[in-house]
Amino acid sequence: MLAVAFGSGILFVSASSLWTSDLTGSTDEFVEYIGQNPDFSFKKPSSWHVYEILDRSYVRVENLDGRSFKTLPAEIQRQYFKIEVVVLPNPSGLSLSDWVFKQNTTSYPLPRVLSQQSVEVAGQPAVYQIEQFGTLIHPVVFLQKDERIYILNISSRDERFKLATEKFIHNFEFASE
């Protein structure tokens, strides 16, 4: 695995070349990733890339190197897929359902929530919703652990990435305390 530090706050980890013949990750071995934030880990297709902002608030897992995205042929660009993990403070101590409600009614731009259900991820209650921003429709999972909200933001509902998405969510884990 190659690890390269950029500047004073960004880490990019790449386990493969720029792209592979199977961008869906469905034929890849899934490998555990424990990044700079020791609070959580997940499994990802071995050929996918990880981009992490070291202040521990953002991790992006992508099937193509986003830094080189614009140099790729258009047919490859259309196959781009990512899952983001965003960690936000919850200083008001809102319950998960109250936090999600506030997010859905006060953020800008406002998402149009198409569906929402309670699920469990990493042994914690979670909210799974399909939301729409303009023409973009995508799933998002909200989790709460201690005084933080974890958002798993999935770039699309494309069926080609269903296996990778399900494995990522199923294998997302919080570190033992």
Higher-pLDDT residue of 3, 59: 59
- Tell me what pLDDT residue 97 has: 96
Do the beta carbons of residue 79 and residue 158 sit within 8 Å? no
Q: Could you read off the pLDDT of 98-107 as tens digits, one per residue?
A: 999 999 999 9
Residue 51 maps to which CATH number?
A: 3.40.1000.10
- Tell me what pLDDT residue 15 has: 39
- Tell me what pLDDT residue 13 has: 40
C-alpha span between 132 and 90 (Å, rounded)? 24
Confidence at 12, pLDDT banded by 50, 70, 90: very low
Query: What does pTM read for this prediction?
Result: 0.82
Among 171, 166, 170, 145, CA closest to 154: 166
Read off the tokens for 159. Answer: 């069926």
What contacts 102, CB < 8 A, 6 or more positions away?
A: 94
Among 53, 48, 42, 41, CA closest to 5: 53
Query: Rounded mean pLDDT of 153-164?
Result: 88
C-alpha span between 92 and 90 (Å, rounded)? 6
Burial class (CB in 10 A: 0-12, 13-18, 19+), 168: buried
What contacts 21, CB < 8 A, 6 or more positions away?
A: none
For residue 165, give the amino acid letter.
Answer: T
Higher-pLDDT residue of 23, 177: 23
Inform me whether the pLDDT recorded for 117 exceeds 90: yes
Pairing of β 58-62 and β 49-53: antiparallel
C-alpha span between 60 and 168 (Å, rounded)? 12
pLDDT averaged over every residue in the chain: 83
Q: Could you read off the pLDDT of 41-77 as tens digits, one per residue?
A: 999 988 888 999 877 689 999 988 878 878 888 888 8
- Tell me what pLDDT residue 55 has: 75
C-alpha span between 54 and 65 (Å, rounded)? 18
Pairing of β 148-154 and β 136-145: antiparallel
**Total domain count for the chain?**
1
- Which domain, by its residues, includes 86? 2-174
Do the beta carbons of residue 40 and residue 172 sit within 8 Å? yes
C-alpha span between 135 and 77 (Å, rounded)? 18
- Tell me what pLDDT residue 79 has: 86
